[in-house]
């Protein structure tokens, strides 16, 4: 004890007392040998203190066990970051089952299946990135969301915790908005724990009439609702005056769909929100639109706002803040400073003071182009961080077209003749345009990894443009008396066009075409519409009559005369699907690199190194290497000086040298590892585990493998 006191004082002087308090409060189940919290810890650092696997021996790494869940579909995704606690490894499968495995062997111990018989029969799949663990008096429970239900499960048995909510379940559609209006929300990313609270961010739709993405907390013991923060402020609340609300309109989105982080010492929870809806045309929501596209610091006990910082004003491009904020301590001008790091689809990194939300490095408000669509008013300026520099290209021009082969260049050039390259933050217009960064980033939900010793941030990025076609649509405000098909057409335009296009053409491979549903039964379609499926959110807010009308239109989408006489109408502008600008072989139509891994020194805000991440096998066969590939899934840094990441279209797991970006090891997996790895130690042996399930976003075949790697025993 005599030696400990001066060491503690020295640590406070060198590192700052806030960091020491966080270490003191770290829960026992999140000791450095386990991986007990999604993304590694409460601050989303994605870092492991284990160093048994290091630069000198990582080349010996080999797979030691593999578990297949057996419930993937042709279009499923497996984005889960496993939890490892007390020898148990917990995952959520592509089909939505919670499974406990023996962490050392991969042997199944138990599973929990909340699917209905109809879901099981219809090749149902979910997007779920992880679980939340909470322990009291040695009894652990897992929190898990599927559709609009929050489940509490006994960690050792897989049984529902009967005294939580109603027989172990809480309806997360309740306590979201006032009144009886139905809502439709879900959660793809797990919530966080602070003391005895479970705090959760929402996933909601991106169309007109979507539900709001308010942040809420429940009692972790009982499931009792505790507090709510309105991300779309109500009358009398701070930020309400940043909206020009229109009577009769429904306002939604502004949701932290990529998760939350917690500063236990301060008692604060941090969130990063996405766009308000409709994502691509905001004539009904003029203004800056707080708290859409914001980094938020809230009192974790009450939900009260402490500070906010907006990264995009009046977002009309779907430029979300995908990952939750990362909590770090950096050395700035010779002093340790607690910070919040926010990564964006634009490729920007905002580094904010954790106490105030003010930028630590310079940010400049720059003028951007004005809107030309009737009714729309783009915000005249946007924030541009000057440090660190953006990690991807911003804005598109003809000289950026892919030239990896003459054949590919000719193909993408022909497409480009119909479009116009524009600077970033150019509002959409009736002239087709190419948008870069595209809607998949930049950075995505996987976030990055922070090494607290080197103060280095490691992050993987995408560079993929989107083709933007805007359509003018006149819709009826009164659908009384319309045929089911015509009413269904209006419902389709309001709820489905952004993903599936006005002509039901979809945006394959991510969003399927709906032009021929002859192989799908009515029950399958109704289940998908009502409950959601994979990337498609649930539409519980639609009454049965509307769903039947939508189904009638999908079965017969032919144009039918619509009675517009004496009916009130409204003209809106819709984007005709999330169309990626791909070449004929499903590579991005921009010059490589298409995916990169970068190291950013957060002490100096400088990029230390940046290397291509991944390849496309069909190009490798032609001798075209180091292009990078689209990538989903995060990187994890370790004390051994090694970075681990899957994520890429070539289905490889890789280890990089944290100091140089050199590839030290790689292993071909059966499916792409579009998930964040977890690092843990069991019986004195260090493991690296990843969920490998591929999926249409990469694009790569879907699968269901959980693979653990270790050094030879």
Q: Which is more confidently placed, 535 or 96?
A: 96
- At 254 the pLDDT is 98
* Per-residue confidence band for 5, with pLDDT thresholds at 50, 70 and 90: very low
User: CA-to-CA distance for 127 and 564, rounded, in angstroms?
Assistant: 40
CB within 8 Å of 351: residues ≥ 6 apart: 330, 339, 340, 341, 359, 360, 361, 385, 387, 388, 602, 605
Please name which of 274, 245, 397 lies closest in space to residue 344, comparing C-alpha atoms.
Answer: 274
Q: Which is more confidently placed, 504 or 84?
A: 84
C-beta separation of 639 from 49 below 8 A: yes
Query: What are the CA-CA distances from residue 538 to residues 14, 126, 143, 344 (Å)?
Result: 50, 11, 20, 26
Query: What are the CA-CA distances from residue 556 to residues 486, 488, 523 (Å)?
Result: 10, 10, 17
Rounded mean pLDDT, 505-526: 76
What residue spans of 472-543 are helical by DSSP H? 484-495, 497-500, 522-531
Task: Identify the structural domains of the chain with CATH numbers, from first to last.
Answer: 470-576 (1.10.760.10)
Per-residue pLDDT tens digits for 534-559? 667 777 777 788 888 888 888 888 87
C-beta separation of 46 from 447 below 8 A: yes
- Indicate the burial class of 85 (C-beta count within 10 angstroms; 0-12, 13-18, 19 or more): buried
C-beta separation of 324 from 272 below 8 A: yes
* Range of lowest pLDDT (259-273, 493-507, 654-668): 493-507
Across the chain, mean pLDDT equals: 91
User: CA-to-CA distance for 11 and 17, rounded, in angstroms?
Assistant: 8
- At 608 the pLDDT is 98
Cα of 5 vs its chain's centroid, Å: 42
Strands 433-435, 420-421: pairing kind: parallel
Q: Which is more confidently placed, 665 or 530?
A: 665
Asked if pLDDT for residue 252 goes beyond 50, the answer is: yes
Q: What are phi and psi of 549, to 5 degrees?
A: -65, -40
- At 16 the pLDDT is 39
Give the rounded percent of residues in the chain with a pLDDT score beyond 90. 77
Other C-beta atoms within 10 Å of 592: how many?
Answer: 22
- At 39 the pLDDT is 97
Strands 132-136, 108-112: pairing kind: unpaired
Query: What are the CA-CA distances from residue 442 to residues 155, 465, 509, 585 (Å)?
Result: 36, 10, 20, 22
* Per-residue confidence band for 28, with pLDDT thresholds at 50, 70 and 90: very low
Per-residue pLDDT tens digits for 163-221? 999 999 999 999 999 887 888 899 999 999 999 999 999 999 888 889 999 999 999 99
Strands 47-48, 636-638: pairing kind: parallel
Asked if pLDDT for residue 149 goes beyond 60, the answer is: yes
DSSP of 596-615, one letter per residue? EEEEEETTTTEEEEEEE---
The radius of gyration computed from the CA coordinates of the chain, to the nearest angstrom, equals: 24
| Token pair for 233 | 């402020």
Rounded mean pLDDT, 409-423: 98
Asked if pLDDT for residue 497 goes beyond 80, the answer is: no
């Amino acid at each position: 004890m005599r030696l400990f006191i001066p060491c503690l004082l020295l640590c406070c002087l060198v590192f700052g007392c806030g960091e020491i308090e966080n270490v003191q409060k770290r829960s026992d189940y999140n000791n450095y040998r386990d991986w007990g919290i999604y993304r590694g810890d409460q601050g989303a650092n994605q870092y492991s203190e284990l160093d048994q696997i290091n630069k000198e021996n990582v080349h010996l790494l080999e797979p030691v066990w593999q578990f297949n869940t057996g419930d993937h579909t042709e279009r499923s995704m497996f984005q889960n970051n496993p939890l490892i606690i007390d020898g148990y490894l917990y995952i959520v499968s592509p089909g939505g089952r919670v499974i406990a495995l023996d962490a050392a062997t991969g042997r199944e111990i138990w599973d929990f299946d909340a699917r209905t018989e109809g879901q099981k029969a219809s090749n149902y799949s979910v997007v779920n990135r992880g679980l939340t663990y909470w322990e009291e008096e040695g009894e652990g429970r897992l929190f898990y969301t599927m559709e609009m239900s929050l489940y509490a499960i006994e960690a050792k048995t897989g049984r529902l915790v009967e005294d939580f909510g109603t027989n172990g379940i809480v309806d997360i559609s309740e306590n979201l908005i006032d009144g009886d209006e139905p809502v439709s929300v879900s959660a793809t990313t797990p919530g966080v724990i602070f003391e005895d609270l479970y705090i959760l961010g929402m996933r909601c739709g991106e169309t007109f009439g979507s539900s709001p993405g308010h942040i809420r907390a429940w009692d972790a013991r009982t499931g009792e609702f505790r507090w709510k923060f309105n991300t779309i402020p109500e009358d009398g609340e701070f930020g309400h005056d940043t909206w020009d609300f229109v009577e009769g309109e429904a306002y939604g989105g502004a949701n932290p769909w990529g998760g939350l982080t917690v500063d236990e010492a301060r008692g604060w929870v941090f969130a990063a929100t996405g766009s308000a809806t409709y994502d691509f045309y905001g004539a009904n929501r003029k203004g800056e639109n707080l708290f859409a596209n914001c980094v938020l610091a809230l009192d974790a006990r009450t939900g009260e706002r402490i500070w906010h910082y907006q990264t995009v004003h009046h977002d009309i491009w779907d430029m979300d803040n995908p990952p939750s904020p990362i909590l770090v301590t950096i050395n700035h001008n010779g002093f340790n400073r607690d910070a919040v790091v926010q990564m964006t689809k634009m490729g920007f990194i905002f580094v904010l003071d954790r106490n105030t939300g003010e930028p630590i490095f310079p940010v400049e408000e720059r003028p951007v182009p004005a809107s030309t669509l009737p009714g729309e008013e783009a915000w005249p300026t946007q924030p541009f961080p000057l440090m660190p520099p953006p990690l991807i290209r911003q804005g598109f021009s003809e000289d950026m077209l892919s030239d990896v082969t003459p054949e590919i260049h000719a193909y993408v050039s022909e497409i480009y003749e119909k479009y116009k390259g524009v600077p970033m933050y150019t509002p959409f217009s009736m002239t087709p345009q190419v948008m870069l960064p595209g809607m998949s980033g930049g950075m995505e939900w996987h976030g990055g990894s922070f090494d607290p010793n080197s103060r280095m941030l490691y992050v993987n990025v995408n560079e993929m443009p989107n083709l933007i076609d805007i359509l003018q649509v006149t819709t009826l405000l009164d659908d009384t008396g319309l045929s089911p098909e015509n009413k269904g057409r209006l419902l389709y335009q309001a709820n489905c066009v952004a993903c599936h296009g006005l002509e039901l053409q979809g945006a394959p491979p991510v969003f399927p075409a709906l032009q021929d549903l002859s192989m799908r039964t009515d029950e399958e379609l109704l289940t998908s519409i009502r409950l959601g499926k994979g990337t498609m959110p649930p539409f519980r807010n639609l009454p049965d009559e509307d769903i039947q009308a939508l189904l009638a239109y999908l079965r017969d989408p032919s144009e039918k005369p619509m009675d517009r006489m004496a009916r009130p109408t409204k003209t809106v502008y819709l984007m005709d699907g999330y169309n990626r600008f791909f070449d004929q072989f499903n590579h991005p139509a921009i010059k490589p690199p298409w995916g990169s891994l970068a190291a950013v020194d957060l002490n100096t805000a400088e990029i230390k190194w940046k290397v291509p991440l991944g390849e496309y096998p069909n190009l490798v066969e032609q001798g075209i290497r180091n292009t990078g590939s689209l990538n989903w899934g995060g990187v994890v840094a370790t004390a051994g000086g090694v970075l681990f990441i899957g994520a890429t279209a070539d289905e490889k797991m890789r280890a990089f040298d944290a100091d140089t970006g050199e590839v030290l090891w790689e292993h071909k997996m059966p499916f792409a590892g579009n998930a964040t790895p977890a690092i843990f130690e069991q019986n004195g042996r260090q493991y690296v585990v990843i969920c490998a399930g591929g999926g249409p976003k990469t694009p790569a075949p879907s699968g269901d493998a959980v693979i653990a790697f270790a050094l030879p025993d």
